[in-house]
Amino acid sequence: MHTLTKSIVVCVTLIASTLPSFAAEPATAPVRVDVSRGPGLPAKATPVRLLADLAGFTPDAQPPALSRFGGDISQPGEATGFFRVERKGARWWMIDPEGYRYFNTAVNTVRATTTGSAIMQASLKEKFGDRANWANATSALLRENGFNGVGAWSDHQDLNTATQRIPYTLILDLMKSYARNRNGLVKVGEYMRFMEGVPFVFDPEFEGYCRKRMESFSRLRDDPWLVGVFSDNELPWPRDALDRYLQLPSAEAGHKAAQSWRRARYGGAEAEHQPEITDEERDAFLNHVLERYFSTVNRVIKENLPHHLYLGSRLHGRSTFNAGVWEAVAPHVDVISANVYFQWTPPVERLRETVNRINKPFIVTEWYAKGMDTDLPNITGAGWLVPTQADRGRFYQHFVLSLLETEGCIGSHWFCYMDNDPADTSTDASNRDSNKGMVNTRHEPYAALAADMKKINDQKYRLIEYFDQRR
């Protein structure tokens, strides 16, 4: 499900090299959380901004009345029957099918159990009896804690039968499944990687494969509860993609495409007569690769799901907040999506500048912190490591406040619903032994984490107005 870039070593290399820091200290010392990148690594006491720190903001005592999709009914708009995006002044919004402003607050991987987890399966039977009861209870749990969405890799078929339905997103795995189908993945350690670390965007068979795969999703064409779809997750978009495609075997379509691109650039000169590759060329070719992939999958997705949002392919690593990558992707998506690891605070001003330039909104589709107060070793995965569940809750408040403050952000997807079960070796190697969930492997919510999630989630529409009035 997830790629090798979820490992701590790679994420440290790709995302950041230092622990978070604040440029200046406020007059009143903030609450601090001891934060590290993983077990045995140095921890740093890092400030968090909490709901209680917002000057002049008084939370409503009761959760607000919402549309059935979880939208803000205080400002009705045009109902189209499907989710869409709209810019109102400086602020981007999702608009729910009934026409109400909607900020997509979701949880990823909402599953009743994993294939090889005996403890999850026993808990499912003991607490819920069957999957239908689990779906009803879980949808209610999410709604109770202010969530109005279910993210990728969830048990959608079960959840969509719940009495209290909840909007959902799907991940299509177009390139990932194509690569497996054409035997284009190689095993590196416990992970499968693309040959030379680049996707097969130039294969002439790729578009036809996508079209065939999309047939299985066409049944969702008229489903108003489907927010939108992701084409893939964490595909590699390295800056040196040109070098890598040229390193593929000469019979590969990607190698031929890279050679053809350089020949056109140098007036038909063959490889031996071309100068060394420059960074300028690398950036230009990567834009060419991005345009090829995103235009292809967008075309096929819209043929089958014309009413739904194309939420991009969840960016990660160097691409996470890369303005150049976002500019290349933006013309071909409705929403930019990015997985964010080892960033304690989203770069609000930089994101504002990028969103204004590309004129498209974004969603943060993965982020989390792991607590050290469970019996899990927390070795795998890329989220921050903090001492307690209360600290996880503080991080949730801190991170979401910055997203709500950023006018281009229209959603946040926490990773994930349930902790890893170390005994289940059928899972992805990046999801083996860590405290990532809002519930443990016995389907028991972490009360301190859930309480802080609810505090922010219930106030999200008022908080957006609060931040917009102060800009």
Residue 66: which residues within 8 A CB-CB, separation 6 or more?
72, 73, 148
Measured CA distances, 244 to 15, 47, 264, 288, 459 (Å): 21, 41, 18, 14, 47
Q: What contacts 39, CB < 8 A, 6 or more positions away?
A: 377, 378, 379, 385
Report the share of the chain in percent with pLDDT over 70.
94
Q: What is the pLDDT of residue 188?
A: 86
Contact 391, 374 (CB under 8 A): no
Residues of the chain with pLDDT under 70: 1-28
- Whole-angstrom distance, CA of residue 69 vs CA of residue 83: 10
DSSP H/E element including 324: helix 323-329
pLDDT of residue 36: 97
The range of the structural domain enclosing residue 213 comes to 4-469
Domain count of the chain?
1
CA nearest 151: which of 224, 228, 67, 236? 228
Q: Which pLDDT does position 468 carry in this prediction?
A: 97
Q: Residue 125: which CATH number?
A: 3.20.20.80
As a whole number of Å, the end-to-end CA separation of the chain is: 39
Contact 304, 217 (CB under 8 A): yes
User: What was the pLDDT predicted at 3?
Assistant: 41
Q: What is the pLDDT of residue 13?
A: 34
